[in-house]
Amino acid sequence: MIQFDQVSKRYPGGHEALNKLSFHMPPGDMRFLTGHSGAGKSTLLKLIMVMERATSGQVLIGGRNVSKLPARKIPELRRDIGVVFQNHQLLFDRSVFDNVALPLIIAGYGHRDVGRRVRAALDKVGLLDKEKLNPITLSGGEQQRVGIARAVVNKPALLLADEPTGNLDPQLSAEIMRLFEQFNQVGVTVLIATHDLSLIARMPYKLLSLRNGQLVNAGGGDERE
Ligand SMILES: Nc1ncnc2c1ncn2[C@@H]1O[C@H](COP(=O)(O)OP(=O)(O)OP(=O)(O)O)[C@@H](O)[C@H]1O
């Protein structure tokens, strides 16, 4: 599903954020991406979403080499990738329903399909009864669940998350992780960048650990094994 071959990323200004990174994550896998602040976690996720381009090496997503993907093909790729951010980036001038519906409306789904899919996504994250509310009235954990519903409403094969529990207490963080596990159990490939080592210590998933732009567990194995 995700394959990096000797991928380096140098930002303008000369900083090398990633250095000859190689790993393979098969479809249906769930992994945590860890590393110190500035290690390159967000850069790695941005290369998968083609928000940034590799300076050298190849990034393959679902067998497609996205390093050279023409700009006009990027929206099609992104439709198959759900993304969850730490600050969830919800729009506070519209309802929970409308926030979750946004990716479907952009993709051109009809009214009936939108309603069906949005309610299915809200049901999965336990927020079906909150669809009419403005997300500003929800708790931090609930807002993050709206963000997750929006990320999965398109039924993406790949779900990426960048510090999705950064603002949440340990109990809410564990609930959010359980949601990611549920999506993984139905076949979604899941990659979660996190600083929260205590949260993931008891979870049975492999780590991709970065240090200064390099994998410290090269080959994609689990450094805890
Ligand atoms: N647009 C950019 N221009 C220049 N340098 C950048 C840019 N984005 C990131 N960097 C640099 O690349 C390195 C890796 O950054 P990145 O955001 O990938 O790290 P991270 O592991 O996600 O860190 P954090 O946990 O703090 O979010 C850092 O040194 C950062 O300053």
pLDDT at 112: 95
pLDDT at 143: 94
Q: Given pLDDT bands bounded at 50, 70 and 90, which one contains residue 162?
A: very high
Local structure of residue 137 (DSSP, 8 states): G
ipTM of the complex: 0.94
pLDDT at 86: 83
Rounded-to-integer distance, Cα 204 and Cα 22, Å = 22
pLDDT at 220: 44
Nearest residue to 200 (alpha-carbon basis) of 31, 2, 86, 37:
31
pLDDT at 99: 97
Per-residue pLDDT reduced to its tens digit, 37-77: 999 999 999 999 999 999 999 999 998 999 889 999 998 89
Strands (E), 76-181: 81-85, 158-162
Over 90: is that where the pLDDT of 221 sits? no
Over 60: is that where the pLDDT of 224 sits? no
- Ligand 1 mean position, distance from CA 43 (Å): 6
Pocket of ligand 1 (CB under 6 A): 11, 13, 15, 17, 35, 37-43
Work out which ligand 1 atom sits closest to the CA atom of 210: 21
Q: In testing the pocket of ligand 1, which one of 10, 32, 42 has its CB within 8 Å of the most ligand atoms?
A: 42
Q: Of 10-19, 47-56, 146-155, which range is least confident?
A: 10-19
Over 80: is that where the pLDDT of 217 sits? no
Q: Looking at ligand 1, which residue's alpha carbon is closest to its atom 16?
A: 40
Local structure of residue 135 (DSSP, 8 states): G
Over 70: is that where the pLDDT of 218 sits? no
Per-residue pLDDT reduced to its tens digit, 181-214: 999 999 999 999 998 888 888 889 999 999 999 9
Tell me the angle at which helices 170-185 and 111-124 cross, rounded to the nearest 10 degrees: 120
Local structure of residue 224 (DSSP, 8 states): T
What's the pTM? 0.92
Q: Looking at ligand 1, which residue's alpha carbon is closest to its atom 17?
A: 42
Spell 185-222 as b/e; 16+ CB within 10 A means b: eeebbbbbbbbbeebbeeeebbbbbbeebbbebeebee
Per-residue pLDDT reduced to its tens digit, 69-117: 999 999 889 989 999 988 878 999 999 999 999 999 988 999 999 999 9
Q: Looking at ligand 1, which residue's alpha carbon is closest to its atom 11?
A: 17
Over 50: is that where the pLDDT of 222 sits? no
Local structure of residue 166 (DSSP, 8 states): T
